[in-house]
Structure 1
């Protein structure tokens, strides 16, 4: 894969497929002879028709999670709360049917984390997803604030997942559920840096640690360093939503809002421009209008600042509605 032609370290094509194709990972997971004590495989099945979807959702107790087999950025992922939602969900996944559709048991009331790995060093990232029909990631914090035993459980799950797909990759971003009963389950495995700037957050959160530089050193020299980075504080990113659907008419200046709230800003970016089309229904990561990055030595303070600043921005954003104009009476 990629580098083996030039004698660079890397993964085999079969390992790459397991990292990209979610059903292959679930097969490997189900077949594993050993797994961590607190780890539970997730029931998962490929769906070929609407009739099959209905039948499987009923078998799973009327609730399930459906997603494309080979997409990223939360695209197409949705929750089915009741068998009556199958028709609409099947219709919505039409663009992805060629690549395959996967149905999984719905894991409820779980917290989501990722086990992030680069060239021997690992940490756990806390992720927050939107509520509702679609599950899109809206916030990430590095490192996740965890008790030592929970940290160990999530790390064991992440390491187990990486071992299922490949022993020899330089980067992993393995998404893990921490269930309400304290057990762990895999969301999915990715043999790449985490999205949503996770490596940039890590560079800011940890002392003397640059994931990108480590990755390059691993790729060029095959160098790994099994020491985990030491945190100097917490770094978080939160995505910003549009308050309504339509055309973006006005956005506030985030720097001055942050100053007014006495919040130190690391980064603020609008990804949508004025007069761009925006939506209030967050379906995936492209539905957001921008993001903020903040740092604090205190997790509770960071958490509060991310929410306060995002609220301040979102409540000031103005959108021109595209509702049909009322016809003049006549």
Structure 2
């Protein structure tokens, strides 16, 4: 029996990893952040939990010492903030992992952009600025034109990302990035990324890389909100594309995966395709795609990405051939505003074509607005044998759902 260490297991994606490792007959251990740990919070299926300060300079050494003590054979995480720690610990222990010299590239958008440029990956025009004056100078020199994208050098879940359509919106966009906070007390790079806005359809590519060889599992079609904040509210698996477009997307994604040093990892790569058919890679993460993409892949294709993640981490040879040819789509619900969740009405019922319906926030809880993934309160999944029919069904069901939020005193004061 091999032993797997999971850093900061939290949420359904981590539970899927734990369950997958258990099914495969492996022991599962975890490491939790010191300020996030509570006695009794250990996830089901985990044998032992180790408490650590992920933000400390000695975090890697502590992980390595713990791994040696527990005879760990592989290390994983579902949180991209911790992927550099995984890479460095795996390198120190000679376990399957990614290139240690590029450990931060799948997390840092600055490092990622530098690697993309050096390796010839098609990407949006990108600038890194440290002040609002720098941002205005880029506009003055016409290096970028509106609309453009302003986002943090380091964060996830669309936090702090906005599309700016006019000069007078720049101060608020810049301030939004500056006030971002890190996860697990890890300090963030306070620089700001300013990018060309790429108009077009959004996709992601789910891939498995083992010993430097990448297999693309599928292309995922994405649905986002409109306006200044583009938050993902739907994923559809697999997206059936024309062969030429499919090859073009996968070719750029392969280059991007190599550019950021992924050798042994699941990866999730965001891509946009312009109306002329050209594509731009937005970013790569060395983890399973969030928003229940792993579940969609399993339902549609019969490929279990959590099991693949475990096998890659442990160096176990594997096959990721599809076991079925179907379709699955998810609709993720965002609160219309921040405040107190009062009611959620007309959620679909579980049935033959709706295998999963989940409300992830309790009625009465304080919820975030629709500016980032933090505003998600639930989802449902629809499956079927026809891509268009599955999405029509999901859209129909989604249109019936009613979410009521009342502002708190703090929200009301902020709005005035």
TM-score, length of structure 2 as denominator length: 0.69
Judge conservation of contact 1:114–1:124 (CA < 8 Å) in 2.
yes
| Structure showing greater relative contact order (alpha-carbon pairs closer than 8 Å, 6 or more residues apart) | 1
1:68 alignment counterpart = 152
Partner of 2:104: helix, strand, or coil?
Answer: helix
2:343 to 243, 247, 250: 250
Question: For residues 10 and 272 of structure 1, what CA distance do their matches in structure 2 show?
Answer: 35
Judge conservation of contact 2:348–2:380 (CA < 8 Å) in 1.
no
What 5-or-longer segments of structure 2 have no aligned partner? 1-86, 181-187, 411-416
2:132 alignment counterpart = 50
Q: Superposition RMSD on alpha carbons, in Å?
A: 2.3
2:334 alignment counterpart = 241
2:102 alignment counterpart = 15
> Does residue 1:294 correspond to 2:382, yes or no?
yes
Judge conservation of contact 2:348–2:397 (CA < 8 Å) in 1.
no
Judge conservation of contact 2:174–2:192 (CA < 8 Å) in 1.
no
1:283 to 364, 371, 374: 371
Question: For residues 123 and 347 of structure 2, what CA distance do their matches in structure 1 show?
Answer: 43
Q: Superposed, which structure 2 residues align to 1:176-325 within 5 Å?
A: 176-207=271-302, 209-225=303-319, 229=322, 231-243=324-336, 245-252=338-345, 254-256=347-349, 264-278=353-367, 281-314=369-402, 317-322=403-408
2:237 alignment counterpart = 142
Instruction: Note the C-alpha offset of 1:167.
Output: 4.8
Q: In the TM superposition, what whole-angstrom CA distance separates every residue of 1:25-77 from its partner, at most 9, and x where no partner exists?
A: 21122222x55xxxx33211111111111122342123310111111111111
TM-score, length of structure 1 as denominator length: 0.86
Instruction: Note the C-alpha offset of 1:283.
Output: 0.7
Judge conservation of contact 2:152–2:177 (CA < 8 Å) in 1.
yes
Q: In the TM superposition, what whole-angstrom CA distance separates every residue of 1:112-133 from its partner, at most 9, and x where no partner exists?
A: 1111112443211111111111
Deviates more, 1:113-122 or 1:237-246: 237-246
What 5-or-longer segments of structure 1 have no aligned partner? 325-330
